[in-house]
Amino acid sequence: MCGVAGFVDFSKSVSSQVLNKMTDVLNHRGPDDSGYSFNESKLANIGLGHRRLSILDLSKHGHQPMIFQNIEIVYNGEIYNFKEIRRELIELNYTFESDSDTEVILKAYHKWGIDAVNKFNGMFVIVLYDRDQEKIILIRDRAGIKPLFWYLRGNYFLFSSEIKSFHQFPNFHKEIDKAGLSLYFQYGYIPQPHTIFKNTFKLRSGHFIEVDLNTKKITETKYWDVIDYYNKPKLNIDKKEATIELEKLLTNSFEYRMVSDVPVGVFLSGGYDSTAVASILQKERSEKIKTFTIGFDEKGFDEAPFAKNIANFLGTDHTEYYCTQKEALDIIPNLVEIFDEPFADLSAIPTILVSKIAREQVTVALSADGGDEAFAGYNKYVRSLKYLEYLKKNSFSQFLLKNSLPLLMKSKMLDDKYNNKIGRIVETLKKHESESVLKFMCTMNQEEINKYFLKKPNHLKTFFDDENELLNSNDNLNKMLAIDYKTYLVDDILTKVDRSTMSVSLEGREPLLDYRIIEFSSQLPSSLKSNKGNSKMILKDIVHNYIPKELMDRPKTGFAAPMQIWFKDELENMIKLYLNNTRLRKENIFDIDEIEKLKTQYFKEPFNPIYYVKIWNFIIFEMWYERWM
């Protein structure tokens, strides 16, 4: 795991020292080594920078940037099947100096061009400078596990694993994109390809960009899309056959992600996803795998006892750490440094803490994200399906609600708490589709957001708007799974894990996000994933082969911390500091009167999540603004 940064300077005015600064600000992503390549071609100055966290081939042979003939590479991630690709290349008369996957990527591109990406199984961001074609090529993995940002304005094209590199570039124009900010308040994160800044973008998952140095033209191309697999005919397969095939895929995927020249551990919550990873891996080993869990003393939040029971049954080398209120509070000031655009998911705090604990013993940790999106694990899917089914059966109720609720809102008979809920219901009724139900569950709808801005922000298209690309052969459940895979998973969950692990120089690997698993599960009938409220059906059957069912039976909980309990007093102080009228008036972004109403509502009901979450989102933005603007 590493960090990459660089630029194409068509004005040829920027020096190599800028490249060094852009790269070194990513030291946390790669503390073991650094490399810089500054190329002064006739067309542009081109900088490629790399910070290395040594995982495979710890010798100097893994140093980057790496060059083969007229191709140069910087790369972040892991290609898990690199040994198979390497053998194929050796048969084609290629020779290798290192045992690194970087050299395999470089020579695979030399042989097959951009089509080489279809051979790679892994998580990756790859930047190639092809001197023969006079192109810079940027590639992001299928699921979007690894991040890559890019910026284009005037004569400058920048790229980096994190936006903070751009602040080191003297010609970076940091202007807030109000439409991107609007997305943040809607979801608590900013969905790809958008960011908080104008002219700044996330490279979409499953895409690559080519920068033509002769024409300055930038072309973005999709090479993989989960929707293509949801649109394939569903497999004619029974539950037993599906379970057998899935277990084979899981076992192979998990073993791939244990390949390392440094110690590897597993994040264990005691839920089905992380238990599947730990149990399958431990079964194949005589030595104890290392597992890590964060616990809380507050009831209703503590999963540590469940994880400990699983670890004891499997016989893992288990580390359990109980987080204190002070430790959580100490992390808050660092959140906007770690997440260098506004990001409001509170579970980032325990994720950072468990990463710190794991890093004391291992350099690689396996997380178990993606199981809910692949196998319908979230409770929201059950609630959404019930809601959509009700609307389908009660067309008169739907007509009545669609026409009467807006009138009720306009009457101003209800306070904001109810108006907000009703506004979301009306939005859902307009479309009566699963995509709109997912938006219904967001932090704020567009009408709510607009009232907080002095000037109404524009609407930006995201992957939430891709539902029309899903064929009607997909039922509502599969449609929700596909959209969540392209939105919430990559831009909330994977962003949280990447920044949290990388903040302590820990490589986070995602064994459930092997593309073969989602390609298989997307072609399964929904009835094999969830039926009558029983979610993750075939995954649960696999886990029960390793763990007694009675150890696993418990209500699903998210990976959260008791922030509302811990932060009540501190939040009041933060409101006074970050949401005061003087600060807000100077920024000239928000309607002060509406912010005052929200503060009043929060102080009346501090444990009401409607107000608490909004307040937290505003505070995070203001902390970010103070740090980066």
Quick check: is 436 in a domain?
no
10 and 151 together in one domain: yes
CATH of the domain at 365: 3.40.50.620
Work out the percent of the chain whose per-residue pLDDT is above 90.
Answer: 72
User: What is the per-residue pLDDT for 284?
Assistant: 82
Contact 205, 490 (CB under 8 A): yes
Average pLDDT, the chain: 89
| Range of weakest confidence among 383-397, 430-444, 594-608 | 430-444
User: What is the per-residue pLDDT for 544?
Assistant: 96
Of the pLDDT bands very low, low, confident and very high (cuts 50, 70, 90), residue 586 is very high
Identity at 20, one-letter amino acid code: N
The vertex-518 CA angle with 187 and 499, nearest 5°, equals 45
77 and 140 together in one domain: yes
Count of domains observed in the chain: 3
Quick check: is 178 in a domain?
yes
276 and 332 together in one domain: yes
Distance in angstroms (rounded) separating the CA atoms of residues 32 and 56: 12
Long-range contacts of 29-34, Cβ-Cβ distance < 8 Å, separation of 24 or more: 29/1, 29/2, 29/3, 29/53, 29/76, 29/161, 29/162, 29/502, 29/505, 30/1, 30/2, 30/3, 30/505, 31/505, 33/63
For the stretch 152-171, pLDDT in tens is: 999 999 999 999 999 999 99
The answer, yes or no, to whether residue 89 has pLDDT greater than 60, is: yes
The answer, yes or no, to whether residue 243 has pLDDT greater than 90, is: yes
Rounded to 5 degrees, what are φ and ψ at 419? -60, -40
Q: By C-alpha distance, which of 95, 28, 41, 29 is closest to 72?
A: 41
DSSP state of 166: G
Average pLDDT over residues 8-17: 96
| Range of weakest confidence among 208-212, 398-402, 521-525, 533-537 | 398-402
Contact 619, 575 (CB under 8 A): yes
217 burial via Cβ count (<10 Å: 0-12, 13-18, 19+): exposed
Quick check: is 452 in a domain?
no
254 and 110 together in one domain: no
122 and 80 together in one domain: yes
Across the beta sheet with 149-153, the strand order is: 33-40, 45-52, 2-9, 156-160, 149-153, 200-202
The answer, yes or no, to whether residue 204 has pLDDT greater than 50, is: yes
What residue numbers bound the domain in which 278 lies?
228-376+483-552
Task: State pTM to two decimals.
Answer: 0.92
User: Strands, E, within 17-90: which ranges?
Assistant: 33-40, 45-52, 66-68, 71-79
User: What is the per-residue pLDDT for 110?
Assistant: 98
Domain C-terminal end among 196, 224, 252: 224
Contact 124, 509 (CB under 8 A): no
Quick check: is 474 in a domain?
no
Give the containing element (helix H, strand E) for 396: helix 395-410
Pairwise pLDDT comparison (267 vs 466), residue with the higher score: 267
End-to-end CA separation in angstroms for the chain = 29
User: What is the per-residue pLDDT for 416?
Assistant: 54
66 and 82 together in one domain: yes
Quick check: is 453 in a domain?
no
526 and 617 together in one domain: no
Domain C-terminal end among 162, 197, 224: 224
195 and 238 together in one domain: no
Domain C-terminal end among 552, 575, 595: 552
Of the pLDDT bands very low, low, confident and very high (cuts 50, 70, 90), residue 571 is confident
User: Of 1, 2, 143, 438, which residue is the catalytic one?
Assistant: 2
269 and 195 together in one domain: no
217 and 235 together in one domain: no
For the stretch 302-346, pLDDT in tens is: 788 899 999 999 999 999 999 888 888 899 999 999 999 999 998
188 and 298 together in one domain: no
User: What is the per-residue pLDDT for 438?
Assistant: 65
Work out the percent of the chain whose per-residue pLDDT is above 70.
Answer: 89
Quick check: is 116 in a domain?
yes
Of the pLDDT bands very low, low, confident and very high (cuts 50, 70, 90), residue 450 is very high
CATH of the domain at 24: 3.60.20.10
User: What is the per-residue pLDDT for 298?
Assistant: 72
51 and 173 together in one domain: yes
Quick check: is 190 in a domain?
yes
Quick check: is 437 in a domain?
no
Q: In the Cβ-directed half-sphere of 495, how many Cα atoms lie within 13 Å? A: 29
Q: In the Cβ-directed half-sphere of 207, how many Cα atoms lie within 13 Å? A: 18
Q: Does 323 qualify as catalytic in the annotation? A: no
The vertex-495 CA angle with 421 and 471, nearest 5°, equals 65
Distance of CA 39 to the CA centre of its chain: 33
The answer, yes or no, to whether residue 354 has pLDDT greater than 70, is: yes
